[in-house]
Amino acid sequence: MTSQHELLRRLEEKRQELEALRHEHETQRLRQLAQQETTRHEMETIQLELAAATPAAIDWTLLDEVPARTAALDQLAIWMKTKLIPLYLDEEHLDGIQTCWQRHPVAVMELSQLHQEWLRIFDRDKPLLEAAAQFTGLKLPSAMSRITACWQNCEHADESPAGS
């Protein structure tokens, strides 16, 4: 038969083992929480870095000042002349860009969004392949159809070549 002293000693050993297991479990849990927090912080940092590196869409409604609006339109026209028209619009689709495009808010916004998306995809060391395919296969044709619809009731005279 086991003495009371022996039972108390074994009970104390089991309590210590249990306490050690509880401490180990708490330590593991704290490590997991720390890892999750680190991962969450890293993800937030990456998202902030991506957001900072991604061109922002231009809110044309906020460009009331003539110099700011003129500068933005000039930058857009340069991109159209150097990239959009020569690389993406053949003779058949060139009619989609009228010479008075700057007077059509929908056309300006669509072209601006195409420009910003083009910068996001191609203005980097390694262009994004899947995004490039979506740009040429989906986004550009869709935007061009909306832009072309702007000309249906256009009353502006042709004043200058497209892209200027």
Range of the domain at 103: 56-153
Classify residue 76: in a domain, yes or no: yes
Question: Are 6 and 40 part of one and the same domain?
Answer: yes
Question: Are 6 and 28 part of one and the same domain?
Answer: yes
Classify residue 118: in a domain, yes or no: yes
Average pLDDT, the chain: 80
**108 against 4, higher pLDDT:** 108
**Candidate ranges 10-19, 44-53, 74-83; pick with highest mean pLDDT:** 74-83
Residue 159 has pLDDT above 60, yes or no: no
**55 against 139, higher pLDDT:** 139
User: How many Cα atoms sit within 13 Å of 133 on the Cβ side?
Assistant: 2
What is the domain count for the chain?
A: 2
Q: Is 81 exposed, middle or buried (0-12, 13-18, 19+ CB in 10 A)?
A: middle
Question: Are 144 and 92 part of one and the same domain?
Answer: yes
- Band (55; pLDDT cuts 50, 70, 90): low
CB atoms near residue 17 (< 10 Å): 10
pLDDT score, position 161: 43
- Band (48; pLDDT cuts 50, 70, 90): low
Name the percent of the chain lying above pLDDT 70: 81
pLDDT in tens, 30-45: 778 777 777 777 776 6
Question: Are 25 and 63 part of one and the same domain?
Answer: no
